[in-house]
Amino acid sequence: MTETTLFNQEFRLKDKLASEIILFWQQGLFASFHGVNAVEIHYAQFIHGKLPNEKVALTKTHCPTIVVVPGRGETYLKYQELIFDLYHQGYNIFIIDHRGQGLSERLLPNINKGYVVNFQDYVDDLKHLIEHIVMKGSPIPPYLLAHSMGGTIALRYMQDSPHAIKAAVISSPMLGFYTSVIPPLIAKKIVTVKLALNKLISNNPWYFLGQKDYCPTCFSKNKLTHSSKRYQVFIDLCKHNKAIQLGGVTTHWIMQGVIAQQNIFDKLTKLKTPILLLQAGSDSIVCQQSQNNFCRKLHALQPQSCPKGEPVSIKGAFHELFFEIDAYRNRAITQSMAWFKAHN
């Protein structure tokens, strides 16, 4: 069976969203819990044998589980096509909306600002979802599929809970920020100085340089995906669901991200979970060299992770591998499924 028959394809996206995917999505369970500091965290779940209109053999209720951890600025609503595909590969699915974005509770009066008090709050929210909701229905550890900032959150969670996850795939993980022509040390100094100035002058977290309230980027200028169809789906979602709109990041958020990235490298020995890193070959959102360094160092410590000490690079792809054109997306999902099946 070819990849094009396993997963949804771009040419079918419009019709399938309007029919099969939307009907499937409407049968999911959508709920929330109170995370750190009683912030309301939303999540969705799709369990074999428990969808209202599903006809499925009883054995399907014992399917393995994938917990999906989205990136910054995303929402589980964006992941409908991917969840549809993963579910029909035989997996139960849970997916979280991080605090401060998606449908979860926002943290500042200006709800556009990307902000978190402490990066560890993301990690502890994920811990609650997995240990009190996902694992409540099954004692079998789930898999993790995490993207970008979600990859950072997932890695920190696996460091805190080394035996909680069976295997993980991290796609375009945020292990270092892409600083273009500015050397990383100078970029970090700029963040430090701007954050100190912010704290001196105001209690209101400022946007970082160049960041602003929500304003969609036209497709021709986007650096996330080559797929105009998948890109437009999310733009339309935000247009019709203003509650999920999110602008740029604050300086405080960037500093929290820097701290989390450093924690990952400082605590590499705590990563016991088999991890596969998918790298977007033409990524200009996060730092590829940091991903390379991570794989090389982790493989030396844990040979079951990052085969050959390298990421699996998908040449030519932009940052959002699971929302890319079919040629890139099919490969990303195929690699993920193969990794999970190898660690069944």
The one-digit pLDDT tens for each residue of the chain (344 residues) are: 455 568 999 999 999 999 999 999 999 999 999 999 999 999 999 999 877 666 544 344 579 999 999 999 999 999 999 999 999 999 999 999 999 999 999 999 999 999 999 999 999 999 999 999 999 867 899 999 999 999 999 999 999 999 999 999 999 999 998 876 577 778 888 888 999 999 999 999 999 989 999 999 999 999 999 999 999 999 999 999 999 999 999 999 999 999 999 999 999 999 999 999 999 999 999 999 999 999 999 999 999 999 999 999 999 999 999 999 999 999 999 999 999 999 98
Predicted local confidence at residue 188, as pLDDT: 83
Cβ neighbours of residue 179 under 8 Å, at least 6 residues apart? Answer: 187, 287
Closest CA to 299 of 290, 308, 291: 308
Q: Determine the pLDDT at residue 121.
A: 98
What token pair was written down for 16?
């399938």
- pLDDT number for residue 59: 43
What pLDDT sits at residue 45?
97
Count of other CB atoms within 10 angstroms of residue 22: 12
CA angle 151, 283, 76 (to 5 degrees): 45
Per DSSP, what are the bridge partners of residue 96?
A: 43
Amino acid 251: pLDDT? 95
The count of other CB atoms within 10 Å of the CB of residue 189 is 12
Strands 143-147 and 275-280 turn out to be unpaired
User: What's the confidence (pLDDT) of residue 53?
Assistant: 61
pLDDT at 60: 44
Torsion over CA: 302, 67, 126, 288 (sign): positive
- Which pLDDT score, from 0 to 100, does residue 181 have? 59
Nearest to 271 by CA among 128, 140, 125, 173: 173
pLDDT of residue 34: 98
